[in-house]
Structure 1
Amino acid sequence: MKIYKTLLSLLITCGVISSGVMMSASAADSGIYNDITYSSESKEYEEFKVPDQISKVGNSSASEAIAQDENVSASAAMLETPYNVFDIYDAHQKYVKLHSGDMSMIYKKAEGIDVSYAQGKIDWKAVKDSGIDFAIIRAGFGNANKYPNQVDTWFKYNIEEAQKVGMDVGIYWYSYALDVEAAYNEAESCYNVIKDYDIQYPVFFDIEEEKQKRLPTSQVSAIIDAFCSRIESKGLYAGVYSFSSLLSSNVYQQVLDKYTVWVAHWDVAAPGYAHDYGMWQYNARGRVNGINTEVDLDHCYINYPYLISPETYVPDGTETDSSEQLFPVSMDKGKAKGIDVSVWQGKIDWDKVKSSGVDYAVIRAGYGDLATQTDKYFEANIEGAEKAGIDCGVYWYSYASSPADAVLEAEACYEVIKGHKFEYPVYYAVEDPSIAALSNQEITDIINAFCSTLEKKGYYVGVKSYANFLNTRIDPSVYSKYDVWVAHYGVSKPAFNSHFNMWQFTNEGKIDGIKGYVNCNYAYLDFPSIMKKAHINGF
């Protein structure tokens, strides 16, 4: 019997396998590659051109609040590290803010829209009558104190007419800030525009510009913190808006834990964001009575009107103290969080990677059918990860066009990895475009040839590819013999029709110690225990 099936049977008997391993989702990828980009989730395209902000690049604080004294420079609040003792206080304050008052009032499902000048003149009575509960209205963008024409041209009309018909409203401010000082000034601009209005929903900082997403995580985090902390110092309820990929990979969680989150992710069963959020922008092409253009549609799950003004809030009977029936099913983060790396990540500071919360790394050993095609950084990555206390697995990138080629690739892989111990599987990455020209049977035979060769040498083996390719180009019999590592980005669950134990959920991860983007993964089995107990993968 195959190693994989034997171990799986043993694990089921022992009750080790989690019953919550994810199944397929309704969203499907469109080809062998999932080209999920920021633009596919982005909130809007600005027609205005604003002056470039001056970027102050460096390690910035992600949790230090902006100085409350307006005469103190905002940039002076930046620190070298995002971690400090005040995070405990900030987290407690968020808990108090969310859980103070009557717990039976905390959660409430509401339907909303977000609008700007792009929607033109809106008939707000028709919007209200259509069943819309709230509207998040753009107040402006950039530094409107310096450039007054950057107040949204329809803001005054929208907020006043919406409130006349009894619509609850919130605010968003579109950011171009590239440093803390610019974000602080944007917060001041926003406050000056909205200060005379009663607002029932949060004031959201909209961060999604191309230049912003290229900044270091520390810088993005500090920018968000600067705006939101300044808004809250004015007595308002602050939040951050962006698309799920940026929130998941380019902001310190300590910052996101301090403010409410509005996540944008369209046309999926649930947003591809694994942490807490209060609002979800689920559609960018909605149609609502009273608006002549397409409009963004939003679900809200937190009862913001109650949290913001409990003394004036009038219950309608739809409030609840339980969120279980309101939120869509979120991402299952599994048993361990990992990355996969190759020569493309260059030199990695593995100690920083470990400190960032990474549990394991799947490292490219090489590619093709020659042992000389070892990944340039394989040995350095294995050594660095092991010294840092990070568990390791490996993958071999395939170019095989026949089973005979696949056997040569397996032998080459063995020559490179023998002598090492791996807590995670040895994966065969079958995703090169050249493979697409082969028949399904040829691809299946290639995978079986590689995996069986390495399995006979005492390795726990699996196949890795994109969800659509795994669904349509490989015979399902492979999945009963070998483990599966599925890649599908920008979704709450991979759209794979069979069992899998690892999911590559983004190719735009940002991890301390690695320059640029890196693939991030979740593992759903306790692989280290499996390898050690079965004395395989070098153990």
Structure 2
Amino acid sequence: MPVWLRNLVAACIVLVFFAGFYWFFIRPYAYRWKPCYGQKEYGVCMPCNYEVHGIDISHYQGKIDWDRLVHNKDTQFPIHFIFLKATEGGDHGDDTFVQNFGKARQYGFIRGAYHYFLPRTDAQKQADFFIRTVQLSKGDLPPVLDVETTGKKSPQELKTAVKTWLDRVEAHYGVKPILYTSYKFKMRYLSDSIFNAYPYWIAHYYVDSVKYEGKWHFWQHTDVGSVPGIEKEVDLNVFNGTFEELQSLLVR
């Protein structure tokens, strides 16, 4: 092979490699480095035109300094609500849930509890485990089902399992649960009219606005928030409505 041809092939391989690296590893997160033309808070550019803000936490955030965290109620983007991970699968509880769930109420935050769904585990068992773990009170957010994987189930099997959990939990608490999943996951696996009746919490990062065309209630807009009182990065959320509309969702 001539030297010039070998060099050309090598250059093409390098070009393809860098193009692929950019497409799969840089492009999806490019929004992080875009100039912030709006207002910045918690280390990120905040979405415009939303008055109700919140966070979600789990054991990953470690020990919370609640005395510092409560001061975020007085910032330009006050934190009104906190979702906390309670359970996962059929038998794994988040070891920070009980303490933090109590602290959230004590410090005046609107609180909610979520379950991380494992499709391979019996949905009824998962629902019953959540019910045994989480005691909701008047003024709490509805329970949340976090669905992020298929567990190699078919779309129909997944839908059936998800609906089983939702029905069992709704029957117990007397309120429709919130369904959490990413924009792409919902469109691919849970795009069914039977789920339109549930409040939707959409995870959609590194975009200026929600692209989902259906009705949604909460938007998890970043996973790299920096909130005083929490050492590690935290997810930031907004509610799609007024504070009074948020209150209308709460357990009565």
What TM-score do the two structures reach when normalised by structure 2?
0.77
Tell me the amino acid that sits aligned with residue 518 of structure 1.
V
Write the mapping of 1:350-429 to structure 2, written as runs, cut at 5 A: 350-356=66-72, 357-370=78-91, 373-401=92-120, 405-418=122-135, 420-429=137-146
Alpha-carbon contact 1:423-1:528 (below 8 Å) kept: no
Instruction: Show the counterpart of 2:175.
Output: 459
In structure 1, C-alpha distance between the alignment counterparts of 2:41 and 2:238, rounded to whole Å: 13
Alpha-carbon contact 2:119-2:153 (below 8 Å) kept: no
In structure 2, C-alpha distance between the alignment counterparts of 1:514 and 1:473, rounded to whole Å: 34
In structure 1, C-alpha distance between the alignment counterparts of 2:178 and 2:115, rounded to whole Å: 11
Write the mapping of 1:304-315 to structure 2, written as runs, cut at 5 A: none
In structure 1, C-alpha distance between the alignment counterparts of 2:38 and 2:156, rounded to whole Å: 36
In structure 2, C-alpha distance between the alignment counterparts of 1:466 and 1:498, rounded to whole Å: 13
For structure 2, the 5+ residue unaligned runs are 1-22, 73-77
For structure 1, the 5+ residue unaligned runs are 1-29, 44-241, 252-271, 275-330, 532-536
Secondary structure of the equivalent of 2:79? coil
In structure 2, C-alpha distance between the alignment counterparts of 1:248 and 1:440, rounded to whole Å: 39
User: Could you report, residue by residue, the CA deviation over 1:324-347 in whole angstroms, capped at 9, with x for unpaired residues?
Assistant: xxxxxxx341x4110000000111
In structure 2, C-alpha distance between the alignment counterparts of 1:500 and 1:477, rounded to whole Å: 14
Alpha-carbon contact 1:484-1:499 (below 8 Å) kept: yes
Alpha-carbon contact 2:59-2:95 (below 8 Å) kept: yes
- Shift of residue 374, structure 1, vs aligned partner: 1.5
Task: Specify whether residues 528 and 463 from structure 1 end up closer, same or farther in structure 2 by C-alpha distance, changes over 3 A only.
Answer: same
Count of residues in Structure 1 that have an aligned counterpart in Structure 2: 220
* CA RMSD in angstroms, aligned pairs only: 2.8
In structure 2, C-alpha distance between the alignment counterparts of 1:420 and 1:364, rounded to whole Å: 16
In structure 1, C-alpha distance between the alignment counterparts of 2:37 and 2:134, rounded to whole Å: 36
User: Could you report, residue by residue, the CA deviation over 1:228-251 in whole angstroms, capped at 9, with x for unpaired residues?
Assistant: xxxxxxxxxxxxxx4579945327
Instruction: Show the counterpart of 2:17.
Output: none
What TM-score do the two structures reach when normalised by structure 1?
0.38
Alpha-carbon contact 1:364-1:375 (below 8 Å) kept: yes
- Shift of residue 365, structure 1, vs aligned partner: 0.8
Instruction: Show the counterpart of 2:42.
Output: 249
Alpha-carbon contact 1:488-1:504 (below 8 Å) kept: yes
Alpha-carbon contact 2:118-2:151 (below 8 Å) kept: no
Greater per-residue helix proportion: 2
Secondary structure of the equivalent of 2:118? coil
Task: Specify whether residues 465 and 375 from structure 1 end up closer, same or farther in structure 2 by C-alpha distance, changes over 3 A only.
Answer: same
Instruction: Show the counterpart of 1:42.
Output: 33
Greater RCO, 1 or 2 (C-alpha within 8 Å, sep 6+): 2
Secondary structure of the equivalent of 1:363? strand
Task: Specify whether residues 376 and 41 from structure 1 end up closer, same or farther in structure 2 by C-alpha distance, changes over 3 A only.
Answer: closer
In structure 2, C-alpha distance between the alignment counterparts of 1:436 and 1:246, rounded to whole Å: 39
Report which of the two structures shows the higher radius of gyration computed on alpha carbons: 1
In structure 2, C-alpha distance between the alignment counterparts of 1:511 and 1:413, rounded to whole Å: 28
Instruction: Show the counterpart of 1:11.
Output: none
Secondary structure of the equivalent of 1:485? strand
Return the match for 2:57 from 341, 344, 348.
341
Tell me the amino acid that sits aligned with residue 411 of structure 1.
D
In structure 1, C-alpha distance between the alignment counterparts of 2:88 and 2:199, rounded to whole Å: 20
